[in-house]
């Protein structure tokens, strides 16, 4: 916990994998050749660094929420470039809600049974560790885990979208979950 006016305990870089996961969930895979989630996150962190004095939170959870808002705004800005549109407040609100929903799905995946204020700090730490562990998985494993557990897609839908068999997707899910369990030392 940090005091008002002080820098949060963690450097902004600590949130990179978490923001990258959220950005990947919001960018349509067909756009990823033109819009790299890593670039969006880099711009998000640069803007956060430039606006660091505007952060008024007192915890890692508040920092994560502040960074999610900046990410949503950055995503809206980048998507506008493709549509050559003017600022669309509805799009920005929609993206902010989608980023928040993705974060909530991640939190639910981690702690369906954990509740209470004493667990909040632990859950926030787990969110960041989960994002870091997902970032280190092979790309296809991470993608199917994100689609299944964070976007709620069925195995058959994932197989259809990726042009793979259901058995192949199931194998990727199983191997990905095994590696996540090992990395996190838990039973997802």
* Statement to judge: residues 128 and 141 lie in one domain: no
Choose the final residue of a domain: 91, 117, 135: 135
- With contact defined as beta carbons under 8 Å apart, do 48 and 11 qualify? no
* Statement to judge: residues 115 and 76 lie in one domain: yes
Kindly report whether the global pTM for this prediction surpasses the value 0.85: no
Q: pLDDT tens for residues 39-71? A: 999 999 999 999 988 888 888 888 988 998 899
- With contact defined as beta carbons under 8 Å apart, do 13 and 139 qualify? no
Q: Rounded CA gap, 48 and 54, in Å? A: 9
**DSSP H helical ranges for the chain:** 16-26, 37-50, 60-83, 89-110, 117-135, 139-145, 155-162, 166-184
* Statement to judge: residues 51 and 69 lie in one domain: yes
What CATH number does the domain containing 150 carry? 1.10.10.10
* Statement to judge: residues 127 and 155 lie in one domain: no
Counted residue by residue, the chain has a size of 188
Q: Rounded CA gap, 185 and 188, in Å? A: 9
What pLDDT was estimated at residue 39?
Answer: 92
Average the pLDDT over 106-131 and give the result: 63
* Statement to judge: residues 29 and 42 lie in one domain: yes
* Statement to judge: residues 146 and 83 lie in one domain: no
* Statement to judge: residues 170 and 117 lie in one domain: no
* Statement to judge: residues 104 and 40 lie in one domain: yes
Helix 37-50 and helix 16-26: axis angle, to 10°? 130
CA 37 to chain centre: 10
pLDDT higher at 147 or 103 = 147
Give how many domains the chain has, as a whole number. 2
Q: Residue 169 sits in which domain range?
A: 137-188
* Statement to judge: residues 155 and 129 lie in one domain: no
- With contact defined as beta carbons under 8 Å apart, do 72 and 23 qualify? no
* 92, pLDDT greater than 60: no
* Statement to judge: residues 86 and 168 lie in one domain: no
* Statement to judge: residues 119 and 148 lie in one domain: no
Q: Rounded CA gap, 65 and 56, in Å? A: 11
Whole-angstrom Cα Rg for the chain: 17
**Nearest 5°: phi and psi at 170?**
-60, -40
DSSP 150: I
* 5, pLDDT greater than 60: no
- Banded pLDDT at 16 (limits 50, 70, 90): very high
What pLDDT was estimated at residue 153?
Answer: 86
Q: pLDDT tens for residues 123-180? A: 677 778 888 888 899 989 998 998 888 888 899 999 998 889 999 999 999 999 999 8
What pLDDT was estimated at residue 45?
Answer: 95
* Statement to judge: residues 64 and 109 lie in one domain: yes
DSSP 147: I
């Amino acid at each position: 916990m940090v005091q008002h006016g002080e820098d949060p305990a963690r450097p902004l870089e600590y949130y990179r994998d978490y923001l990258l996961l959220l950005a990947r969930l919001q960018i349509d895979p067909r756009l990823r050749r033109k819009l790299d989630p890593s670039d969006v996150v880099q711009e998000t962190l640069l803007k956060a660094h430039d606006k660091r004095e505007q952060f008024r939170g007192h915890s890692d959870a508040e920092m994560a929420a502040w960074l999610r808002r900046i990410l949503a705004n950055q995503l809206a800005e980048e998507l506008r470039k493709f549509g050559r549109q003017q600022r669309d407040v509805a799009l920005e609100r929609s993206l902010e809600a989608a980023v928040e929903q993705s974060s909530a799905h991640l939190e639910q995946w981690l702690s369906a049974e954990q509740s209470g204020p004493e667990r909040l700090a632990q859950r926030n730490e787990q969110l960041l560790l989960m994002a870091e562990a997902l970032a280190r998985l092979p790309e296809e494993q991470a993608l199917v885990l994100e689609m299944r557990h964070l976007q709620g897609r069925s195995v058959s839908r994932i197989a259809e979208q990726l042009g793979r068999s259901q058995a192949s997707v199931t194998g990727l899910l199983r191997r990905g979950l095994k590696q996540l369990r090992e990395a996190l030392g838990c039973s997802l």
